[in-house]
Structures are given as structure tokens and as C-alpha cells.
Amino acid sequence: MKGKVKWFDDAKGYGFVASDEGKEFFVHWKSIVTVSDKERKFLVADEEVEFDTIDTERGVQAINIIRLNP
């Protein structure tokens, strides 16, 4: 699924992404895919991303988030 970062709080490590269909999903920094495990995981508002979703006890969350134009 493709979309854009709505907002991401780097200090707290979470935010929301909006799919191209307009649905919003919670995102946690641990769900961001990087080349190296030592690379800092963060997102920037309005950045284009690709992601999957997963059902959790707290609702549907975005996972496997890939920054398309870092």
C-alpha cells in the first residue's frame, strides 16, 4: 500500500501515515525498514512511503514502512 506520512514525532517514536485511499494508520519507529539495523529510523511529514498493515488489539497499524524518497 502507498501513502504519505501525516506526522511523526521523532522524540516519541510514533506517528501516523495516510494511505492513498485516505485511511490513517498508526506507525511505530520499530516498523520502519532501513538498510542497516544501526541506521536511525524516522519519518518526515508529507514523505511518500510504502507499507503493509496488520490488525492488532488496538486497531490496524502500518508495518514494514519503506521511505520512497529519503
Q: Break the chain into its structural domains and give their ranges.
A: 2-67
**Chain mean position to CA 38:** 18
Region 56-66: what's the mean pLDDT?
Answer: 94
13 φ/ψ sector (left φ>0, alpha ψ -120 to 50, else beta):
left
Average pLDDT over residues 44-67: 95
CATH of domain 2-67: 2.40.50.140
Q: What is the pLDDT of residues 9-35, one digit of tens each?
A: 999 999 999 999 999 999 999 999 998
Cα gap 12→48, rounded to integer Å? 21
**What are the beta bridge partners of residue 17?**
5, 25
| pLDDT higher than 90, residue 37 | no
Across the chain, mean pLDDT equals: 94
| Distance from C-alpha of 56 to C-alpha of 49, rounded to nearest angstrom | 21
